[in-house]
Structure 1
Amino acid sequence: MTWDVDHLADINAYCNDVLTGVKPACRWEILSVQRHIDDLQKDEEFPYIFDESKALKIIRFVELLPHVKGKWAAGRGTSKRIRLELWQKFVLGALFGWVHKDTGLRRFRVAYICVPRKNGKSIIAAGIGLYMLTEDGEYGAEVYCGATSEKQAWEVFRPAQKMAERTPAFRRAYGVTSHARRLECDKRGTKRLPDNSRFEPVIGKPGDGASPSCAILDEVHEHTDDVLYETMITGMGARDQPMLLLITTAGNHVAGPCYSIQQDLQSVLEGSIQNDELFGIVYSIDKDDDWTSEQSLIKANPNFGISVGSDYLKARLRDAVQSPRQQNSFKTKHLNVWVTAKSAWLNMVEWNRQADTSLQLEDFVNDPCYKGLDLSSKLDITSNICVFERMLEGQRHFYIFGRHYLPEERIQEDNNKHYQTWEHQGALIPTDGETIDYDLIQSDIENDVRDLGVRALGFDPWGATQLAQNIQGQQPDLDVIEVPQNYSMSDAMKEFEALLKDGRIHHDGNPALTWMMGNVVAKEVDDGKKIRPVKGDREAKIDGAVATLIAFTIALTGKEPTTSIYETRDIRFL
């Protein structure tokens, strides 16, 4: 009995620590706990109750299982039993303790648990799978670990299989037999369960006739569509209290089903939509947190210093701070932050540090000016960038100003609220009608050539050749240079990154350009010796970044970039 009381006390202690700030927690962890507390206090009209005995049952069950990973699983016969952390007890207790007051059936049918790597999520997933196989009272239970690849499908099933194999008392009690690719229950167990219950991994869709009582989808952020999700949901229709468990870290595919489910959960937690059958909790940091701080590591990782070592996380943090291309990976894996690019080119902390909204274009009219143009399709963003060069204390500094154009009708589309904000701020220039007004862009460039003394115009030949020829015809003394968006940009990209780190890249803080800079991924060849700018996501825009690199390239070299230029000239201005 004391053991049971301790479990309930632990759940209550966790809730109290989160809500009082004793435990660092992000907004979504706090709201998930607050939802639980609020529901406990609702009146008799609320159709659900918290059944403490059912909450305790799942916790006690999981704590009878052995560790099969990490330092607590030294080998067969020596594994220590699982001892759940407070947050894990809360998740399991809330998920299984809430039931319908009339039927006693479980309230939550879909559970979304988003937690950084190495924080013990496989214990939760494997424990739930084994519990749903044996103790859920479901005749002919079917438990599936679903994934899009065989490797991922085994990430949950293999620990569950090892737990069963290392616990003879569990196999005897439920008549569980372990096959190469399946766990099965028969009538030989002392619990006298019905036979044909099974637990197995599945890749893609389960076979015809499958009726999942529990489906566990691991690392859902890697799913490119919702086919597996929908297949499992629709297959559960004949079950009384099925469960679809989604357990994942954050990712970069914001157009996929995982991000959409998290958005739905966040709306439920905020109270903007109601869904009493969806449970979820997200362990992450808040948008204004300093991601480089140790406090953020503690906040996002509930098993900080337990299953995921503090020294390990601090080392990964140091690596990410020093290498921009590791930052997005670090943020998704260890801080649970959704990003828009798999491998960011720039350190955006450094980029934002160099923003100076007091910079005025007219203050640079006497400095060398180089212009870059990335001409989009007629329905997308076109960017027209000026890069000025100025000597300060014997070192070259570069100052970036830009104009970004988009058809007014695109800006006003419902899913383009960010564009509307930027238009209001003057960061995005609308052009009349449905397509880009090339005449306006040409006029702006010609005015800049006249007023700013532009020395050279660089352009990506894709789509911009005719406009460049028109400008050359009107400005015969202007150097107009092709700068292809390929690996010829490699040295300029690396130099830009180095100068940014050194505090010698400056910009006026245009939010549209900042967004596009953050969308750039450095695509590598030759083990990173050469890079070029690409989109991290097909929906991302990088036009402003490309135009900036074009202008920067000609500012560094003063001529069209070729292999011989980079082989014979040192462009690292130190």
Structure 2
Amino acid sequence: MTAFPNVDIANKWAKQVVSDRIPACKWVKLACERHLNDLKKQKNRDFLYKFDPKLAEKKIAFIELLPHTKGEWAMKRLTINLEPWQKFGIACTFGWVRKKDGYRRFRESYWEVPRKNGKSAIAAGVALNMFANDGEFGSEVYAGATTEKQAWEVFKPARLMAIRSPDFVEAAGIQINAGSLEIPEDGSVFETIIGDPPDGQSPHCAVVDEFHEHPTSALYDTMQTGMGSRRQPLIFTITTAGFNIEGPCYDLRVRIQEMLLGTVPDDELFGFIWTIDDDDDWTDPDVLRKANPNYGVSVYSDYLESQQRRAIQNAAKQNAFKTKHLNVWVSAKSAYFNMEQWNKCKDTTLKIDDFRNDACMICVDLSSKIDIAARINLFYRIIEGKIHYYCISPQFYLPYDTVYNGEEKQVVERYQKWMKLELLNVCDGFENDLNEIAEDIIKDAEHLSVKEVPYDEWGGFQISKQVDEAGYTSIKVPKITKVFSPAMKELEAAIAAGRFHHDGNPVLSWMIGNVVSKTGKNDTEFPDKEKRFKKIDGAVAVLMGINRVLILTSDPEEDDLSKHIEKYGVRRL
């Protein structure tokens, strides 16, 4: 027996998930991989964080001292017994700290779990822990929701836990009121907060329950902005999936996915999503265990199977079943490109100097003057009869006003971060300087073997004249399915086969991951985005370049490019 038995259980569980000995979707696997990889990286001097098993053990042990408040376990007066997956989530949320000062690493923790998997008990335990067991003088903890009834779904069990734990109440000096818990000695308070609260709070912790029901991010934003005076605050979000992919919960879910995929790293964000994978059959009883971590514990197999059968037999019940018991956002679309495969295509050794004599497309998507513009350097080589693509040093342009005052607040902070990392070319004022972009293209083209400069028909015409006058060939690429469907299928195949090579630019990776497909007749594909803020300009520019490469290398006797690709596998060269 080690000194940290609960942490050992959490780590063992993570290893079993990664090795497929415990069924879990890719988002849970990625969360486990991140933790296990960080445990190795903490030995490196330049890694800013370390895992404190003593601290993680303390938090788990505290929650397991609290009593159940519902069902047969409450009737038997049993204390909470966390399952391994819950111990993992608590250990990660509270065990990771900053090396420089020992304060907590994660400021946001997002748990998306289907119904009946013990969410309320976990949320109540976290709230009590942050209220009276985190060493914070004058702690303020809020149970936030859209309605008073929903807020009490967290506060009520926490209050009952306190009532049924007299030793804890006495030791912490807690005063139990009808609608709040207080520690008079230092002014700590735990209470509910509803809807769009006014400023004035200084939360140490905000527990946001069923975030999918929130129509706006007002409560979340108010809690987050109020945490500035706290050393190690936490927003703890625990929710099921929902239907509104335009809402703030789905936006946060996207952040979690981007973080787990590594396309937009966020060292202060923890999260995992319990659901099924895209290729799973939702009617298969085996997927129930995969999406429900408390399968057979707090949610019984016969109940889930009966709900599944009802949904199979009644189409009107299918969406509710998928959302509440499989955590599927039924209005959401799946990303078209496989980002795990994309990440494997990353090669940070790629340098433009090594490709100066290789055929090159400089592809430009300039569809909006006030939004992000993309310029892609796409080189290509023929290796053993196959086209290999090399995307090196892509450039992105954005007006200064959009970086700081853009209407899409979901990406403003991201833009500012990328600007500091010199991943964006920021133009003065309110719109992109197309002359500057044209000059950059011409300057780079002087040192490259540029075949063409493909540009989009909706904006790129403004630079084509300058490009042509400089002696290069600009090509207008219409945004139609006939152009983009073969390119999308070729890029998908090239990524899977390792024929597409890129230097790991995070802006481009983010855009590739944002592409969904607008599928048409005869299985045609067209690049689309699920939400307005999920930009795909860089991906569109890549696809324009691929379209032109396919045309330039195709058999002139083959009229239908898509048939040619299908006939000869990837390409006949």
Q: TM-score range by the shorter chain?
A: 0.5 to 0.7
CA contact (8 A) 1:141 1:197 kept: yes
Identify the residue that residue 39 of structure 1 maps to in structure 2. Answer: 38
State the shift of 1:139 in Å: 1.2
State the shift of 1:206 in Å: 3.8
Identify the residue that residue 315 of structure 1 maps to in structure 2. Answer: 306
CA distance in 1, matches of 2:123, 2:480: 42
1:273-422 equivalent positions in 2, closer than 5 A = 273-340=264-331
State the shift of 1:70 in Å: 2.2
Identify the residue that residue 143 of structure 1 maps to in structure 2. Answer: 141
Query: Residue 85 in 1 paired to residue 83 in 2?
Result: yes
Deviations 1:338-392 (A, max 9, x none): 1129xxxxxxxxxxxxxxxxxxxxxxxxxxxxxxxxxxxxxxxxxxxxxxxxxxx
3-state SS in 2 of match to 1:236: helix
1:483-522 equivalent positions in 2, closer than 5 A = none
Identify the residue that residue 110 of structure 2 maps to in structure 1. Answer: 112
Query: Residue 59 in 1 paired to residue 50 in 2?
Result: no
Change (3 A) 1:510 1:45: closer
CA contact (8 A) 2:485 2:525 kept: no
3-state SS in 1 of match to 2:22: coil
CA distance in 2, matches of 1:128, 1:420: 51
CA distance in 2, matches of 1:204, 1:225: 9
CA distance in 2, matches of 1:214, 1:3: 31
CA distance in 2, matches of 1:259, 1:54: 31
State the shift of 1:205 in Å: 3.6
CA distance in 1, matches of 2:88, 2:480: 42
CA distance in 1, matches of 2:247, 2:143: 19
The two structures have a TM-score, normalised by structure 1, of 0.58
Identity of aligned residues (%): 50
CA distance in 1, matches of 2:87, 2:165: 21
Query: Residue 251 in 1 paired to residue 252 in 2?
Result: no
Aligned-partner residue type, residue 20 of structure 1:
S
CA contact (8 A) 1:174 1:186 kept: no
State the shift of 1:179 in Å: 1.1
Identify the residue that residue 48 of structure 1 maps to in structure 2. Answer: 49
State the shift of 1:265 in Å: 1.1
CA distance in 2, matches of 1:36, 1:420: 43
Query: Residue 7 in 1 paired to residue 6 in 2?
Result: yes
3-state SS in 2 of match to 1:125: helix
Aligned-partner residue type, residue 239 of structure 2:
T
CA distance in 1, matches of 2:165, 2:141: 19
CA distance in 1, matches of 2:121, 2:32: 21
CA distance in 2, matches of 1:228, 1:277: 20
State the shift of 1:199 in Å: 0.6
CA distance in 1, matches of 2:119, 2:2: 23
Identify the residue that residue 451 of structure 1 maps to in structure 2. Answer: none
CA distance in 2, matches of 1:83, 1:25: 21
CA contact (8 A) 2:141 2:189 kept: yes
Of stretches 41-50 and 206-215 in structure 1, the one that deviates more from structure 2 is 206-215
CA distance in 2, matches of 1:260, 1:130: 28
CA distance in 2, matches of 1:140, 1:327: 47
Identify the residue that residue 197 of structure 1 maps to in structure 2. Answer: 188
CA contact (8 A) 1:223 1:257 kept: yes
CA contact (8 A) 1:98 1:106 kept: yes
State the shift of 1:422 in Å: 8.5
CA distance in 2, matches of 1:181, 1:28: 37
1:395-544 equivalent positions in 2, closer than 5 A = 424-425=484-485
Identify the residue that residue 126 of structure 2 maps to in structure 1. Answer: 128
Identify the residue that residue 407 of structure 2 maps to in structure 1. Answer: none
Identify the residue that residue 163 of structure 1 maps to in structure 2. Answer: 161
Aligned-partner residue type, residue 229 of structure 2:
A
Aligned-partner residue type, residue 203 of structure 1:
I
CA distance in 2, matches of 1:423, 1:117: 44
Identify the residue that residue 219 of structure 2 maps to in structure 1. Answer: 228
Change (3 A) 1:167 1:97: same
State the shift of 1:200 in Å: 0.5
3-state SS in 2 of match to 1:95: helix
3-state SS in 2 of match to 1:107: coil
State the shift of 1:123 in Å: 1.8
3-state SS in 1 of match to 2:192: strand
CA contact (8 A) 1:185 1:197 kept: yes
Identify the residue that residue 403 of structure 2 maps to in structure 1. Answer: none
Change (3 A) 1:4 1:284: farther
Change (3 A) 1:102 1:79: same
State the shift of 1:423 in Å: 7.5
Of stretches 207-216 and 294-303 in structure 1, the one that deviates more from structure 2 is 207-216
CA distance in 1, matches of 2:104, 2:140: 17
State the shift of 1:138 in Å: 1.1
CA distance in 1, matches of 2:26, 2:481: 25
CA contact (8 A) 2:25 2:290 kept: yes
Aligned-partner residue type, residue 121 of structure 1:
K
3-state SS in 2 of match to 1:211: coil
CA distance in 2, matches of 1:231, 1:328: 32
State the shift of 1:209 in Å: 2.4
Identify the residue that residue 218 of structure 1 maps to in structure 2. Answer: 209
CA distance in 2, matches of 1:128, 1:119: 16
Identify the residue that residue 17 of structure 1 maps to in structure 2. Answer: 16
Runs of 5+ in structure 2 lacking a partner?
333-456, 460-478, 487-519, 532-573
CA contact (8 A) 2:23 2:290 kept: yes
CA distance in 2, matches of 1:163, 1:145: 15
Larger Rg: 1
State the shift of 1:25 in Å: 0.8
Change (3 A) 1:271 1:304: same
State the shift of 1:67 in Å: 0.6
Identify the residue that residue 560 of structure 2 maps to in structure 1. Answer: none
CA distance in 1, matches of 2:209, 2:22: 27
Change (3 A) 1:317 1:511: farther
3-state SS in 2 of match to 1:118: coil
Runs of 4 or more off by more than 2 Å in structure 1? 2-6, 205-209, 419-426, 507-513
The two structures have a TM-score, normalised by structure 2, of 0.59
Aligned-partner residue type, residue 38 of structure 2:
D
CA distance in 1, matches of 2:138, 2:197: 16
Runs of 5+ in structure 1 lacking a partner?
188-193, 342-407, 411-418, 427-506, 520-536, 538-574
CA contact (8 A) 2:98 2:104 kept: yes
Aligned-partner residue type, residue 145 of structure 2:
A
State the shift of 1:251 in Å: 0.9
Aligned-partner residue type, residue 310 of structure 1:
S
CA distance in 1, matches of 2:458, 2:315: 35
3-state SS in 2 of match to 1:274: coil
Aligned-partner residue type, residue 49 of structure 1:
K
Deviations 1:272-295 (A, max 9, x none): 112100000111110000111111
